[in-house]
Amino acid sequence: INELSNVPVPVMLMPDDFKAYSKIKVDNHLFNKENLPSRFKFKEYCPLVFRNLRERFGIDDQDYQNSVTRSAPVNSDSQGRCGARFLTTYDRRFVIKAVSSEDVAEMHNILKKYHQFIVECHGNTLLPQFLGMYRLTVDGVETYMVVTRNVFSHRLTVHRKYDLKGSTVSREASDKEKVWTIPS
């Protein structure tokens, strides 16, 4: 993200922008060594495309970078399918979801049409607002991440959350769950 601040905003995105990436390799990193490994690799997918999307969603790049990098992300109390991890930025503005390499490939497949839709609706959509896609490699272990805008307010406390399902398959509450005042 920081490298992009020196790159002029293109008038139009090109097909190669949807395949592009930026890589950083850090060796003997001594800054904040209590919290960060000394060696790691970081890859940002389609940086110009996601910068363009953030702009269309009204998100300033400096604010985004600050939210994502200023402090360690916080574990969310939510879990996705198959135990997928969700983290939130320290200021709760953005959600960082750990995804599989297959999810990254699928995102590459839909990104051009997703971007086109966001352009046509001027960023006014109820679809998830995808803001960045990354890979972090530490000690040979690759972690893929997608960053989205948090749908919950970062200013207000959430008192209750409901997990709405789009399918009735395997979605019946157990007898134990049915007696809860706040069912699962």
- Distance of alpha carbon 41 from alpha carbon 21, whole angstroms: 13
Q: What is the mean pLDDT of residues 77-100?
A: 81
Q: What is the mean pLDDT of residues 3-18?
A: 79
For the chain, the distance separating the N- and C-terminal CA atoms, rounded to the nearest angstrom, is: 39
Tens digits of per-residue pLDDT, 22-75? 998 877 666 666 666 777 899 999 999 999 999 999 999 999 999 998 888 888
**Residue 30, in any domain of the structure:** yes
Q: Does residue 123 come out as left (phi exceeding 0), alpha (psi in the -120 to 50 range) or beta? A: left
Number of domains in the chain: 1
CATH number at residue 104: 3.30.800.10
Where is average pLDDT lowest: 52-56, 103-107, 157-161?
Answer: 157-161
**Residue 184, in any domain of the structure:** no
Going 129 to 68 to 82 to 161, the CA torsion angle's sign is: negative
Q: Say yes or no to pLDDT of 124 above 80.
A: yes
Q: Are residues 29 and 37 in contact, defined by beta-carbon separation less than 8 angstroms? A: yes
**Residue 74, in any domain of the structure:** yes
Maximal CA-CA distance, the chain: 60
Q: Say yes or no to pLDDT of 123 above 70.
A: yes
Range of the domain at 74: 3-178
- Distance of alpha carbon 22 from alpha carbon 43, whole angstroms: 6
**Residue 183, in any domain of the structure:** no
Q: Say yes or no to pLDDT of 130 above 80.
A: yes
Where residue 79 falls among pLDDT bands split at 50, 70, 90?
A: low
Q: What is the mean pLDDT of residues 136-147?
A: 93
**Residue 144, in any domain of the structure:** yes
Q: Are residues 89 and 108 in contact, defined by beta-carbon separation less than 8 angstroms? A: no
Where residue 77 falls among pLDDT bands split at 50, 70, 90?
A: low
**Residue 19, in any domain of the structure:** yes
**Residue 88, in any domain of the structure:** yes
Please classify residue 10 by burial: count the beta carbons closer than 10 Å to its beta carbon, then call 0-12 exposed, 13-18 middle and 19+ buried.
Answer: exposed
